[in-house]
């Protein structure tokens, strides 16, 4: 079977990929239709076999689930899906042990294992720049996300039709922004304001606003309604309700999420440097492009140390604010 797949792949690679994907979708659709038909006729489905408690009588003992028809069908469907996935993803175990590939990987790991520390001063300066890119992106994003979080909370905005429309529109816009990775925003920003740390900071700031607004708004939606009703009973305005009933309940989780986002931005700042966002990622892509693996090893060591320091610092800060 493997030989047939390999030969066919060489002849028609693109068409076979679409064919395999189509077969997978067809199997899923057929399974869903069959499940609906069986449920409509009152026949027990695979989910019922797996998750519903069987009615055990004194005279009969039900068979083990994988010995039943539906259990066997589930196992067969899993195996078919696995085979199709193997073909669609072009998995080739031979490539893992190919002599040429192993030699290249050996040279790479040998260079990484013996880092060249002559570039350490330059690398440290780039790492400091990376930390400040993440810091500025987080600091600028927090107040914007803080304001937007209340406009994205259903319990705050859902009381009237205009508020619900504003809530739905804003949540949709932020979902679209958040669905675009920071790496793509870095490419856009590097074209917009030019290659450098400003582009990286701008990209992280845009993505952080969308991500933090979602996290903050979910905290607002989970607050206790008792204080809100008590404040509203006194005739307080919407701003006063948020100030005295909502913010005291969410301030500590807000701080925790903010610190965690800064931790994430430090890691992401390294990646966006690969596309012109400045920081240590910029020099990493330069040395990697020249196959200077000893220098790349030095950069990786510095990145690991910076990430470890940020992890440790953020853990202590989160512990301190509990």
Block means of pLDDT (10 residues each) for the chain, length 322 residues? Answer: 41 56 62 57 51 51 72 88 88 81 82 84 90 92 90 77 82 90 89 89 93 89 82 81 82 84 87 83 85 86 87 79 68
User: What does the DSSP assignment read for 157-199?
Assistant: HTTSHHHHHHHHHHHHHHHHHHHS-HHHHHHHHHHHH-SSHHH
Distance CA 133, CA 269 (A): 7
Percentage of the chain exceeding pLDDT 90: 14
CB atoms within 10 A of CB 167: 19
Q: Which helix (H) or strand (E) holds 202?
A: helix 197-221
Give yes or no for a contact between 253 and 72, defined as CB atoms under 8 angstroms apart: no
Does CATH number 1.10.3720.10 belong to domain 112-320?
yes
State pTM to two decimals: 0.67
Domains of the chain, by residue range, sit at 2-54+62-91, 112-320
Per-residue confidence (pLDDT) for residue 285, from 0 to 100? 86
Buried b (16+ CB within 10 A) or exposed e, 271-302: bbbebbbbbbbbbbeebeeeebbbbbbbbbeb
Give the tens place of pLDDT for each residue, 79-126.
999 999 888 888 888 888 888 878 888 888 888 888 888 888 889 998
Give yes or no for a contact between 129 and 252, defined as CB atoms under 8 angstroms apart: no
- Give residue 98's region: left, alpha or beta (phi > 0; psi -120 to 50): beta
């Amino acid at each position: 079977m493997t030989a047939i797949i390999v030969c066919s792949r060489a002849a028609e690679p693109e068409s076979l990929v679409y064919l395999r994907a189509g077969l997978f979708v067809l199997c899923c659709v057929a399974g869903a239709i069959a499940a609906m038909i069986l449920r409509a006729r009152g026949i027990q489905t695979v989910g019922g076999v797996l998750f519903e408690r069987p009615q055990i009588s004194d005279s009969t003992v039900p068979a083990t689930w994988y010995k039943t028809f539906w259990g066997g069908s589930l196992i067969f469907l899993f195996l078919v899906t696995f085979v199709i996935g193997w073909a669609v993803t072009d998995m080739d175990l031979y490539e893992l042990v190919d002599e040429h590939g192993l030699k290249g990987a050996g040279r790479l790991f040998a260079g990484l294992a013996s880092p060249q520390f002559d570039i350490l001063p330059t690398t440290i300066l780039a790492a400091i720049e990376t930390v400040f890119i993440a810091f500025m992106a987080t600091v600028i994003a927090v107040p914007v996300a803080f304001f937007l979080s209340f406009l994205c909370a259903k319990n705050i905005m859902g009381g009237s039709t205009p508020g619900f429309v504003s809530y739905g529109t804003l949540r949709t816009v932020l979902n679209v922004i958040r669905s675009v990775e920071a790496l793509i925003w870095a490419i856009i920003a590097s074209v917009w304001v030019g290659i450098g740390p400003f582009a990286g900071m701008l990209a992280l700031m845009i993505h952080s606003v969308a991500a933090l607004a979602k996290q903050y708004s979910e905290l607002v939606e989970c607050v206790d309604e008792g204080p809100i009703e008590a404040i509203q009973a006194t005739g307080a305005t919407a701003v006063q309700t948020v100030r005295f009933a909502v913010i005291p309940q969410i301030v500590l989780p807000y701080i925790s999420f903010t610190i965690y986002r800064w931790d994430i931005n430090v890691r992401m700042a390294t990646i966006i440097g690969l596309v012109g966002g400045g920081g240590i990622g910029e020099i990493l892509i330069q040395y990697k492009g020249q196959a200077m693996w000893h220098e790349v090893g030095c950069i990786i060591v510095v990145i690991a140390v910076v990430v470890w320091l940020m992890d440790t610092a953020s853990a202590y800060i989160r512990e301190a604010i509990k």
